[in-house]
Copies of this chain bind each other. A is one copy, B any other.
């Protein structure tokens, strides 16, 4: 068995089922090994940002790691940005990066670079087996690393000679440790705080699924505290039959308003709120100055168990408040910032996975879908654009029987458009709606937050925010990658096209012309 085979077999033995790939020559033995392990499915993408975003989406839905196969430092570099999102999502993603043999790097060939430095940028462990004999154990150790709560990105660098050399053996995977429990005295102290009033509870991470949401709702009902959801989450369960809470606002003023009057901020599964960007006249930390932060469960601790225990303490006889099944009426007329969300809310199918990279166009989405059939929402967690369409790829690979609805701002779609090709190739049930306002509308909004210099052009005149010259024809773009596509200018058109896309197997794209928020 060569090193490449030992690695692939170890991953398969550890439960990995999918490897998202964009290989090159240094990965050819890994390609051969992938092909030889029947438990592993290789899913090719044309660009590494799609590979890594897909692995993230897969991990969020499957609840277990996907692997990526990337071509030396330059291939890894193309994939880093969506791995940054994965890191912020605490997604278990295992990167396999091929490299030259060490003796070959010594002559500094064109593709040589410091791959470990890139892995280090992701703050996860990086391993490089020194011989084929170490490939299996390093694979097993890396797999254990990615699954350590709360989940992380880790990398194994496979020198080509390690991949091609014989004498390797597959290693037995190590079970990851469970998420550490929150000590009882911490929960008891927080219970006292919660009972005392003037509290907000900010929940995130795994607490945004049914058990955590219900516990938070019970606590709120019994104590009167307000519950807020972190701004960007890796996976939120949402819809009829579930409690639903407001998300923290994007702008500092919004979050400060949401927390106004609070004396205690309790966190579970997420950090205390901070501003997404810095503004010269706004604080970075959004906990009110006279309020105290209490960590019920840190990121990586078992937040769901802690919330459930807290609910049992302060709300033993209180039920959660859950959303009734209730859909918006199908709207009519030209598309607006609000009515496109109503179309989605009215027609969202059962058990959908919604990928939300709608940026400034999606502010009305959560309300419009609150009573729709229960669904999961995946968001861009690290603020790096271009995650949505790849996340949809990975989610659809992880859950082939669930419809995936990807709501993508036009600007975001331009970082990873070839995700559509992989959707067509793998016949994934993804319905992409491009929210096309022909601008970087979020930047035009942000521009207003700064006091600009005299003489500076207003945002509508600044070419750096304009995506309309030329206008992008997303219908043709999708068709070029084998994805059927249509254009919607009215709510009726969007409704009809959305229904059709969901009814037909395989990927579809709808270019929805939405006026800009800014």
Q: A residues engaging B (CB < 8 A)?
A: 2, 5, 21, 23-26, 28-29, 31-36, 42, 44, 46-47, 49, 73-75, 77-78, 80-81, 84-85, 88, 100-101, 103-104, 106-111, 113-114, 117-118, 120-121, 160-161, 164, 232, 271, 274-278, 280, 284-285, 381-384, 386, 411, 414-415, 417-418, 421, 424-425, 442-443, 446-447, 450, 452-453, 455-457, 462-464, 466-467, 469-477, 479-482
Contacts and interface: CB of A to CB of B under 8 A. Distances in A.
Given A32-B453, A414-B418, A424-B470, A117 B110 contact: no
A26 B469 CA distance: 24
Contacts of A78: 49, 78, 80-81, 384, 386, 415
A67 to B, nearest CB: 14
Contacts of A480: 472-477, 480
Given A74-B84, A121-B117, A28 B456 contact: no
A47 B121 CA distance: 21
B417 A418 contact: yes
Contact of A25 (B25, B271, B443): B443
A464 B31 contact: yes
A456 B34 CA distance: 10
Contacts of A85: 74
Given A73-B121, A104-B278, A472-B482, 15 more contacts: A25-B277, A28-B450, A33-B453, A34-B464, A44-B463, A47-B386, A74-B80, A103-B284, A107-B275, A108-B271, A109-B284, A117-B117, A417-B417, A424-B470, A476-B479
A106 B284 CA distance: 9
A382 B74 contact: yes
Nearest to A274: B107
A334 to B, nearest CB: 23
Contacts of A44: 463-464, 466
Contacts of A443: 23-25, 28
Number of copies of this kind of chain in the complex: 2
A345 to B, nearest CB: 27
Given A25-B277, A121-B118, A164-B450, A471 B462 contact: no
Nearest to A118: B121
Contacts of A450: 28-29, 32, 164
A273 B343 CA distance: 62
Contacts of A475: 480
A467 B442 CA distance: 35
A133 B480 CA distance: 50
Nearest to A47: B415
Contacts of A474: 480
A81 B74 contact: yes
Contact of A384 (B111, B121, B284, B442): B111
Nearest to A426: B469
Contacts of A442: 25
Given A464-B23, A473-B480, A114 B110 contact: no
Contacts of A101: 278
Nearest to A467: B46
Contacts of A384: 74-75, 77-78, 111
A477 B476 CA distance: 6
Nearest to A160: B278
A425 B36 contact: no
A382 B73 CA distance: 11
Contacts of A32: 450, 452-453, 456
B462 A35 contact: yes
